[in-house]
Amino acid sequence: MDLIEKFDAKGKESGNAFHVECYGSPIEIATAGGAISSLPGPRTYRLADGRALSEYSEGKYVIVQTGEKILRV
């Protein structure tokens, strides 16, 4: 997994600040001619401290371990 992006977020109700990291796993595809190309694969979001996030809407996430909703700023 490659780090694609970093951004800040805040707790929807708590207002706490969070640092989010977005990781991606490119998908490699080989053509009939043997050329290999990459396409963007699925993205995984985590807090900087390693806790997992689940995206429930664009720019809106839930911290899996606590259920706290956070918003991209």
Q: What ranges do the domains of the chain cover?
A: 2-72
Asked if 68 and 54 touch (Cβ cutoff 8 Å), the reply is no
Q: Residues 43-53: what's their mean pLDDT?
A: 97
Q: How confident is the model at residue 32 (pLDDT cuts 50, 70, 90)?
A: confident
Q: Which of 28, 27, 16, 20 is nearest to 3 (CA)?
A: 20
pLDDT of residue 10: 98
Q: How confident is the model at residue 45 (pLDDT cuts 50, 70, 90)?
A: very high
Classify the C-alpha dihedral 6-8-11-16 as positive or negative. positive
Q: Residues 13-34: what's their mean pLDDT?
A: 93
Predicted TM-score (pTM) of this structure: 0.82
Res. 1: pLDDT tops 90: no
